[in-house]
Structure 1
Amino acid sequence: MIRFLPVAAMLLAVSGSAHAADPAPPTAWYWHNWTDHDGVSHMTRCAFHDYDLKTMSKPAGPQWQDHVHEGNAHIISTVQPAHWDGSWHPDPKVQWIIPLKGSWYVMAMDGKKVVMGPGDVSLGEDQMSRRDAKGHIGHFAGNIGDGPVTLMVIQTDEQPTVDKPCRFH
C-alpha cells in the first residue's frame, strides 16, 4: 500500500525544520522580576510573543526573532563562586540574566522563589522596590549546589517600570 504524505509533512521531512511546515511563531519564556506600586517585587513567568521569521544575515536561513531591546547595553559574564549569597538587593539596572552553567535562584519580596539553570532567562527590573518591615528590598539570590554558577548579564538602558509585569511580551 502506498501512502501519500501531506505537503507539510514532506516539507518537514525534507527541510529538517519546522518553519517550512508550520509558520506559527514559537513560544519562549522568561522570568520577570518586577515591582508593584507598593514597592514589592514579584517573579512572573512571561512569554516572548512578537516573533518574525527572517534571516539575520544572508545567506543564512530564516529564524524566529523577537527584537526585545534596541539601544545601549553592557554585557557582563559573571562566575559566582560556590555557595554564593546575593543577600537582599535590587538589580543595578534593568538587565537580562541567562545562566550558562550551574543553577541559581531568585526570591522576590512576595516570597516567590524561582530556580533557573542553563536555558532559562530572567529579566531583573526591581529597582523601584522599597525596603519592607523585615528590611528586604529587591530580591534575594544565591547558588544551588556545590559548584560555581556562570551567568551572562545584559544590562540595558531601559528605564525601570512599576506595575508592568511581562512588559516585554
Structure 2
Amino acid sequence: MTRLLPLAAALLVVTAFGAAHAADPTPPTAWYWHNWTDHDGISHMTRCPFHNYDLKTMSKPAGPQWQDHVHEGNARIISTVQPAHWDGSWHPDPKVQWIIPLKGSWYVTAMDGKKVVMGPGDVSLGEDQMSRKDAKGHIGHFAGNIGDGPVTLMVIQTDEQPTTDQPCRFH
C-alpha cells in the first residue's frame, strides 16, 4: 500500500503538468551482478534485480522517473582507467562497491569459477571481502580487461558492512 501512494502522486504530477502521454505505471526491472561470499568463504557471481522502484521527481520541476534507492549513507566515487591488458589478479574488493563500466569491457571471475563479462550499461556490486583463500590460493575474484584498449570504470565505494550468504541483498 505504501508504494501505491507515491506512484499515484507521481501519476497525478504527470497529469497536472499536461503531459501528452502518461508514464507506464508498471515499475521496471533492471539488473546487476552481485559478487558475494558464502559461509565457506567462497565468492559467487549472481544476477540480481533492482525492482523496488517508485515513480517520483528527483528535483522539481523535472518530471517523475523510476527510482530505487539502493544505498543511503556515505560513499566515495572513483573514476578509474585500467590500462590495456590490465590484470587484476586474485583479490577481494576493498569495500562494498558498485562498479559501472563506462568504456570498454572487463571480466570478473568468482572463486566458484563463474566468469562474467561486463561492458557499458552493466552494473556490478563487489562484496567479496569475507572470502577466504582456497586450496589454490585464490581469494575474492580475478578481474581483467577484454580487448586491446583501456577500460574506464566508475566505482562507488559505500559504507555498507560486507555480509555472507546474502546474494541479491539490494533488491
Residue ranges of structure 2 left out of the alignment (5+ in a row) = none
The CA deviation at 1:148 is 0.0
- For residues 56 and 93 of structure 1, do their structure 2 counterparts lie closer, same or farther at Cα, with a shift above 3 Å needed? same
Q: Percent identity?
A: 91
TM-score normalised per structure 2: 0.88
Contact 1:8 1:20 in 2 (8 A): no
1:29-64, Cα deviation, whole Å (9 max, x unpaired): 000000000000000000001100000000000000
Q: Say if 2:10 and 2:56, in contact at 8 Å, map to a contact too.
A: no
Return the index of the structure with the highest Cα Rg. Answer: 1
Distance 1:12 1:145, change over 3 A: farther
SS in 2 for 1:29: strand
Which residue pairs with 2:162 in the alignment? 160
Corresponding position of 1:112: 114
**2:101/2:154 contact within 8 Å kept:** yes
Q: Secondary structure at the match of 1:7?
A: helix
Runs of 4+ in 1 over 3 A off after TM superposition: 1-14, 16-19
Q: Which whole-Å CA distance do the structure 1 matches of 2:126 and 2:62 have between them?
A: 32
Partner in structure 2 of residue 100 of structure 1: 102
Question: For 2:22, what is the secondary structure of its paired residue?
Answer: helix
Shift of 1:22: 2.5
Residues 30 and 48 of structure 1 are in contact (CA less than 8 Å); yes or no, is this contact kept in structure 2?
yes
- RMSD of aligned residue pairs (Cα, Å): 6.7
Contact 1:55-1:61 within 8 A present in 2 as well:
yes
* In structure 2, distance between residues paired with 1:3 and 1:69: 18
User: Unaligned regions of 5+ residues in structure 1, if any?
Assistant: none
1:9–1:21: 8 Å Cα contact kept in structure 2? no
Structure 1 residues 60, 131: closer, same or farther in 2, change over 3 A?
same
Give the 3 Å change call, closer, same or farther, for CA 7–29 of structure 1 in structure 2.
closer
Contact 1:105/1:115 (8 A) holds in 2: yes
Worse overlay, 20-29 or 106-115: 20-29
> Using a 3 Å threshold, how does the CA distance of structure 1 residues 131 and 8 change in structure 2: closer, same or farther?
closer
Compared CA separation, residues 87 and 56, structure 1 to 2 (3 A): same
Q: How many residues are paired up?
A: 168
